[in-house]
Structure 1
Amino acid sequence: METLSLDMTVTIVATELPGAADLFRRSAINFCCGGNVPLREAAERAGLSPEDLLSELAALQQAAGRDAPQETEALIEHLVSRYHDTHRQELAFLIPLAEKVERVHGDHPVAPSGLARALSALGEELERHMTSEEQIVFPLMRQGHTVRISQPLTQMRHEHEDAARLLRDIEHAAHGMALPAEACGSWTALYTGLRKFVDDVVEHMHLEDKVLFPRFEEPAM
């Protein structure tokens, strides 16, 4: 991500900076439907100091990726075990749970609508992406063929952009994941798991885009 500024849009920051989505949710800043506004405007709408919001986001940016392994092989193993495997496990739980909540609570005004479909679309996108990494990109990285993977990494970055758009669809379908006071256990479990899953996907993409991929790309001229 470029240097943070109050002119950046909420949507871009939410889908590129680990932890930003959760901060926006806690601050009552909408980034699924009304997120195409600058941070300054979003903060003022929420009754917050723009400078304080920017400071909190800067702290998140400084902390991003700090705990990830630095050695390439260990980082690849971390990405597969911490994110690839976890995404698959969590989607297998979240999609049927979303279907149940939509079916049971469909007449509630803030019930999720189209959430299971949006999660399935992201799951399909992630599965293609992660399989390509596991079968093609990561083996090439282990061999050290930097030039040979420049083109695949461009495709990986495009797929991250597609995933970011699908994350916004999920936030929209879940109405920002705000639970009504009368939400049942299943609905509560769905949104608890969904918040963690969405934040994990952003962390996953950040580690690849900002830490791993640049090691195997041609320097900008």
Structure 2
Amino acid sequence: MTIHATKPSLYNQTVGEIAAMRPGAAAIFRKLNINFCCHGDVTLDIAAKDQGLDVSFVEQALCALDVEDLPASTKLSSGELTEYIQSRYHETHRREIPELIMLSRKVEAVHKDHPDAPAGVALLLRAIEGELEVHMKKEELILFPAMRWTDTTLDAPISQMRHDHNDQGVFLERLKELTDNFNLPKEACRSWQALYIGLVKLTNDLVEHIHLENNVLFPRFETGRYKGISGAGL
């Protein structure tokens, strides 16, 4: 008699763990509007129900992914991962957000009488830029150097970083509201189109940035948190 081993259910795993350990899961979560970065500690069962989704359908989609290899980020040491986050995300945010602010000011001014004009986006982007700069500086000057030189827990500073991430998540939701989820009117000019393309990229980058920290990097230095696999060392 052949005995077939059953795959463990994903229902009770958190969406953050799933996104960190299952290649392609983050893309599925984004498509289904499941928040796996700022609310990565929610189980798949609860996250699916919150979106009105059949958890069995979501699990089937996740189980269909090829999980023979782990995401590259999980294989990086903590030092390598902090350096990657700084070069890939911190530097990108600093370069692109000011450009988006200038572009949004132009679009708001030119199309101020249009009913779908993204009024308030430039002001919101300035707030995002300011809050994000303070957050990134704290990581670059305090938290990341500590992670490169210690394997002890860093619960207090990480707790503050998670709080900052929640605030950034609120900013992103507000950005979607102001742009009707980045839906362009048919008559949108090229500047308006370029603005929304840039805003979508910013949103995706920031979601991935928060995900890598919340679900891959931070748990390595938190008491009682999921510790991940190879790469957790310094």
* TM-score bracket, shorter-length normalisation: 0.7 to 0.9
Give the aligned partner of residue 209 of structure 1.
214
Q: 2:167 aligns with which of 162, 166, 186?
A: 162
* TM-score relative to the length of structure 1: 0.74
Asked whether the equivalents of residues 19 and 199 of structure 1 are also in contact (C-alpha less than 8 Å), the reply is no
Cα deviation per residue 1:141-165 (whole Å; 9 max; x = unaligned)? 1111523x22101100000001101
Please give the secondary structure, in 1, of the residue aligned with 2:174: helix
Give the aligned partner of residue 67 of structure 1.
72
Give the aligned partner of residue 23 of structure 1.
31
Q: 2:116 aligns with which of 110, 113, 123?
A: 110
* TM-score relative to the length of structure 2: 0.70
Aligned CA distance change for structure 1 residues 155 and 66 (closer, same or farther; 3 Å)? same
Shift of 1:108: 1.2
In the alignment, structure 2 segments of 5+ residues that lack a partner are 1-11, 16-24, 34-48, 226-234
Instruction: Give distance in 2, aligned partners of 1:100 and 1:187.
Output: 9
Larger Rg: 2
In the alignment, structure 1 segments of 5+ residues that lack a partner are 5-16, 26-36, 44-48
Cα deviation per residue 1:21-46 (whole Å; 9 max; x = unaligned)? 86268xxxxxxxxxxx9322xx7xxx
Aligned CA distance change for structure 1 residues 99 and 160 (closer, same or farther; 3 Å)? same
What is the aligned-residue RMSD (CA, Å)? 2.9
Amino acid at match of 1:116: A
Identity %: 42
Shift of 1:193: 0.8
Shift of 1:57: 7.1
Task: Please list, as runs of the form range in 1=range in 2, the aligned pairs for 1:73-152 lying within 5 A after superposition.
Answer: 73-144=79-150, 146-147=152-153, 149-152=154-157
